[in-house]
Amino acid sequence: MCEGPPLTASYQAGLACHDFPRTLLRPARVLPCSVTTLAQNPFPGHESFSNLRSRGSGLCDIAVLVVDLMHGLEQQTIESLNLLRMRKTPFVIAMNKVDRLYGWKSVPNSPIIDALERQAEHVCTEFEQRMDKIMLQLNEQGMNVALYWRNKDPRSFISIVPTSAHTGEGIPDLLQILVKLTQTAMAEKLTFVNDLQCTVLEVKSIEGLGTTIDVVLINGQLQEGDTIVVCGLGGAIVTPIRALLTPQPLREMRVKGTYVHHKEVRAAMGIKLAAHNLETAVAGTQLFVVRPDDDLEALKAEVMEDMQDIFASVDKTGEGVCVQASTLGSLEALLAFLKTPEVNIAVSAINIGPVHKRDVMRANVMIERGVKKYGVILAFDVPVNKEAREMAEELGVNIFTADIIYHLFDQFTAYLKHVKEEEQEAARLEAVFPCVLRIMPTCVFNKKDPIVVGVEIAEGIARIGTPICVPSQGGFELGRIASMEKDHKAVDTAKRGDAVAMKIEATNPDQAARLYGRHFDHKDDLVSKITRKSINVLKDMFRDDLTKDDWRLVVRLKKVFNID
């Protein structure tokens, strides 16, 4: 039978046991069980998968995808869903926060069906409506889903378990479903084997212990004094284990307190491991133990393979942003995200761990090359050293930090937009948009400098600052557009088909001498004076602001002004 301790208060409050698994078994009903323990290792969002490597250990055998009943599928939830499907990881869906339904009467730690039976009719109606909406969203993602008590075909439909992490309602049902799935579909996979399978989750500095690593031991065993091989930023780390530590029963690794010391630890569980020279250890990589018959050099090469593959995939000679992440897996996830067609952000340098002064100096290379928009560090789930932040402010390097990939992307996108606006403003006088203007003979308000006439935009885009000439009269220039009014309101831009009152101011004495009626009239089209330099500026800074018809006009005007 499945029995175990009640849920701890911290779990009921929804706190994630980031580093350390526990046994949590109190099902809704008693059922025969061949799986004696469930090692729980929950992570927020997609971080559990970003910490994995395709060639690393299978850290997650079965997953729980948590969806907020009040908000439905969010971008991060969809990313987690895609990662689960990509890795073919079996999972169930916990539809959390049922206690937030209006009028919900909580029955702490009860099975969800019992809790629903105690609710008023309007509460059940709202529950069904919200469930239907979210199930439709999941269907749109290509998922067949059903509430677990209505799921007649678990192999084809993903089970949904309504829960409340705050009151514990539905948690017994969730544990029952997990146990049932593991013992029916995964018993062989979960059988203990002696071959070591261990993954580094996090690198921490602990007072009195020095730098430690938190690991998940999936298979095999670890002993105090074993020589381990760990991936490090400067190369493989070979060091003996000084201490094997676990927290007190029903305590989380993040809760400060005394640790339990062990001479030997068997899978599956989480361990805090103390050893020398772990300062540069890389989270998200494998850990090996050197046995008497093992080739040390081969183990060192194998443990470094994953990191070398990722570092080799970045072109350090090109232009791009610098990327920093907390683990190898999160770095890989961020790089993959930046390479997607929808994002497409170039990367010139990568690193793992906190942002230091040397990272800022690396990013400053882009500014020195004249590519200001890439003088940026995208720091994913890592702290920024105080000296590094001060140097960044001094050199003009922007450091964006976030613990969710999408927030990082939003920050960088907003920054790129700001940089583009600055560059466009600086190049505004040099950028000449193509336009052809036709004078309305009944709307000539001033015939000499400043010339004020009513015009119709026959083609292109007229903008304030555009130099205007008269090609049909030898191409002499009249000056630049100083202002425009449309429907008695000042405007900066006028497009094809618009009729505006336009003031053209001369910029030199020759232009000031030009008179309407003597040197030109309404039969002559007014045209923007483009040059090779202005065309290049349009291509670099304003390409997206011009339509295909506008670019065709540029090609025609090139012939008019004999531009190669």
Positions marked active-site: 46
DSSP state of 308: H
Q: Please give the sequence-ordered ranges of beta strands (E in DSSP) within 278-328, or none if there are none.
A: 287-289, 321-325
The packing angle between helices 357-368 and 386-395, to 10°, is 10
Q: Mapping DSSP to helix (H, G, I), strand (E, B) and coil, where does residue 296 land?
A: helix
Strand order in the sheet with 158-162: 63-68, 91-96, 158-162, 145-147
Phi, psi of 393 (to 5 degrees): -65, -35
CB 437 within 8 A of CB 500: no
Provide the Cα torsion 77, 79, 85, 89; round to 10°.
-70
Displacement of CA 252 from its chain's centroid (Å):
28
The C-alpha atoms of residue 118 and residue 174 are separated, in whole angstroms, by: 19
Helices (H), 193-232: none
| Joined tokens for residue 332 | 């890989």
CB 248 within 8 A of CB 226: no
CB contact set of 199 (below 8 Å; sequence gap of 6+): 51, 52, 56, 57, 59, 215, 216, 218, 284, 285, 286, 287
For residue 245, which amino acid is it?
L
Which of 221, 250, 225 has its CA nearest to residue 239? 225
Displacement of CA 133 from its chain's centroid (Å):
26
Q: What share of the chain is helix, strand, coil (3-state, %, to 5)?
A: 30, 30, 40
- Name the β-bridge partners of 96: 68
The packing angle between helices 75-86 and 405-426, to 10°, is 120
The C-alpha atoms of residue 23 and residue 136 are separated, in whole angstroms, by: 34
